[in-house]
A and B are shown apart, each in its own frame.
Chain A
Amino acid sequence: MRRARRQPWRRWWPWALLAPGLLWLIGLYGLPLLALVPLSLSEPVSRFGLETVFTFHWSNYREVLQSHGPILLRSFGYALLATGIGLVLAYPLALAIRFRGGRWQPLLIGLVVLPSLSSYLVRAISWTSLLGDSGPVLALVHRLGLSGLLTTLGVLQDGRLLNTPASVILGLTTNLLPFLLLPLVVALQRIDKRLLEAAADLHAGPLRCFTQVVWPLSRPGLVAGLLLSLIPAAGDVVNPQFLGGPNQRMIANTIENLLLVQLQAPRAAALTLVLMALISLAVVLQLRGRGLEELPLP
């Protein structure tokens, strides 16, 4: 009797809790994203209007790839470069936090996160005054006589540090450092110190300890960090817009321009879907069959 009364409630209460959230996810994310597909195959009705009509207009894709292909390549180039530099910087710090941090580990991690709690636009303003033509960094470069070397490396262009690829990549790198570092530290913290003691007992030197024990066990953290930093970096708007010049625009700036300035929604939709496909490809390649939930996300 009691069981029969409780049964229907048991079946529907989870769905009652899920319903509002699912409404949000489907109505504001799933369906609008799917709606980009027919939009990307539409044509504008008139030259200066927002109205479009669905005509299987495949050439949108050809046109955006032809006119914005180089910018797409540049975006992924910048993002990969920034991620690579970030990795070289983050790995030693992750090792230091894990193996030298002791009881201060949470504080050292917190200190990495703290700068990203102030707006990234304010940080961009700060970089503008640091790297600007009358800023302290350029003065230091000249004082140390490094301008020749940096010009050869392409960091300095026409005597400027700001509005160059280097300034955009610097901004991207500093923004993504916490995303790289947190999963790495989590992965390193999962390494049992007894493994290292065992390796040392078996006469492995520090270098072999690292290459045979630490590095392989930190791989899941590396994968998670790469994904978490590559996704926002490839789609970044702020750094190219405020630290770069017209020749450093990235793909998100182009999409924004197509949508808000040129009012070419179909082409913007096509470019957005191309960007999404490329990033999903990167995610699938990196995960190689592992689930997202297996990664040591912070």
Chain B
Amino acid sequence: MSRLGSLMLALGSALVYGLLYAPIAVMVLFSFNAPRGRFNLLWQGFTLENWRHPLRDAALTQAFLTSLALALAAALLAVLLGGLMALALARARVRGRRGIELLLALPLTNPEIVLAAALLNLFVGLNLPRGPLTLLLSHSLFCLSYAALTLKARLAGFDPTLELAAQDLGAPPLEAFRRVTLPLLAPGLFAAVLLCFSLSFDDYVISSFTAGETVTLPLYLAGAFQREISPQIQVLSTLVLLVSAALLLLACRPQEDPSR
């Protein structure tokens, strides 16, 4: 490619990374800000004070812990239900397979607001008080499709003869599953839990319809726009970013160019 083309490609790429990282840079920077007033939106001066008391904002900390617990429970539930579905779809001949796969893919083609409206009407209709239980049900539902579809793709990539070989060597099906399939599937299960965790941890729309009095982190942040944006918001978000960056770097180590 010509030198001009290469230059334009480099400039275009820099622009995209710039747009993606501008709000992240502001978030990290403002965790070191000493704001005047309730809204940490204007740069006033550098301080380490916010980092010395990352949990000072008690309501924020409580929302953060609620979201951690909810995301963990929803992710584990979704991966359990989705993993069982993936196993059946990948290893057995099921009548109505296409219908089931469609039912799994359909929630992904709806905007969140559609799911939120449907779930709200369901819970109101059932007279189910909105709170932690309805949050767990809704979060595990929208995570289920992601978990089942990614795990199904994983299982389809395996060599099924490995399980058959184990069975030929006298292992009963469950034993073969436990000793052969499960260890092979473990990285996929871990990835699915991480994906579902981050989806649930970040969810705002569905939570705002199904949470009742429970306050998750995104709900707290939405309220903060009117109430108070304390610098601890940026401190906690920077910590979350550091953890996700570490996990991502582990997953994205440079490798041989796969396209060659």
Contact = CB atoms under 8 A, between A and B. Distances in A.
Contacts of B124: 50, 265
B41 interface: yes
Contacts of A114: 24, 241, 244-245, 248
B91 to A, nearest CB: 8
B113 A275 contact: yes
A199 to B, nearest CB: 13
A122 B40 CA distance: 12
A193 B259 CA distance: 8
A121 B120 contact: no
Nearest to B243: A117
A24 B100 CA distance: 12
Interface string A112-133: 1111011111110111111010
Contacts, number: 268
A279 B182 CA distance: 38
Given A21-B81, A32-B121, A126 B24 contact: yes
A279 B245 contact: no
Given A28-B137, A107-B254, A276-B110, A126 B115 contact: no
A147 to B, nearest CB: 20
A272 B118 CA distance: 9
A262 interface: no
A140 interface: no
A96 interface: yes
What's the interface size class on A, roughly?
35 or more
Interface in B38-88: 40-42, 81-82, 84-85, 87-88
A293 B156 CA distance: 13
Interface in A82-138: 89-90, 92-93, 95-107, 109-115, 117-123, 125-130, 132, 134-135
Contacts of B103: 22, 25-26, 29-30
Nearest to A19: B84
Given A89-B15, A272-B114, A292 B41 contact: no
A289 interface: no
Interface in A224-277: 227, 231-232, 234-238, 241-242, 251-252, 255-256, 259-260, 265, 268-269, 272, 275-276
Interface string B4-25: 0110111011011101111110
B117 A14 contact: no
A20 interface: yes
Contact of B244 (A17, A118, A129, A132): A118
B121 A35 contact: yes
Contacts of B202: 119-120
A242 to B, nearest CB: 6
A119 B85 CA distance: 30
A28 B122 contact: yes
SS of A interface (majority): helix
Nearest to A122: B237
Contacts of B254: 103-104, 106-107
A15 interface: yes
B141 A29 contact: yes
Contacts of B115: 29
Contact of B13 (A30, A96, A231): A96
B117 A272 contact: yes
A252 B42 CA distance: 30
B20 A174 contact: yes
A125 B225 contact: yes
A73 interface: no
Interface in B147-191: 148
Contact of B10 (A35, A96, A252): A96
B233 interface: yes
Interface of A: 13-15, 17-18, 20-22, 24-26, 28-33, 35-36, 39, 50, 89-90, 92-93, 95-107, 109-115, 117-123, 125-130, 132, 134-135, 173-174, 177, 189, 191, 193, 206, 227, 231-232, 234-238, 241-242, 251-252, 255-256, 259-260, 265, 268-269, 272, 275-276, 279-280, 283, 292-293
13 contacts: A21-B85, A28-B122, A112-B17, A122-B27, A122-B234, A129-B42, A174-B23, A189-B258, A227-B109, A234-B111, A235-B110, A259-B120, A275-B113
Given A89-B16, A238-B204, 6 more contacts: A18-B89, A92-B8, A105-B258, A120-B202, A234-B111, A268-B117
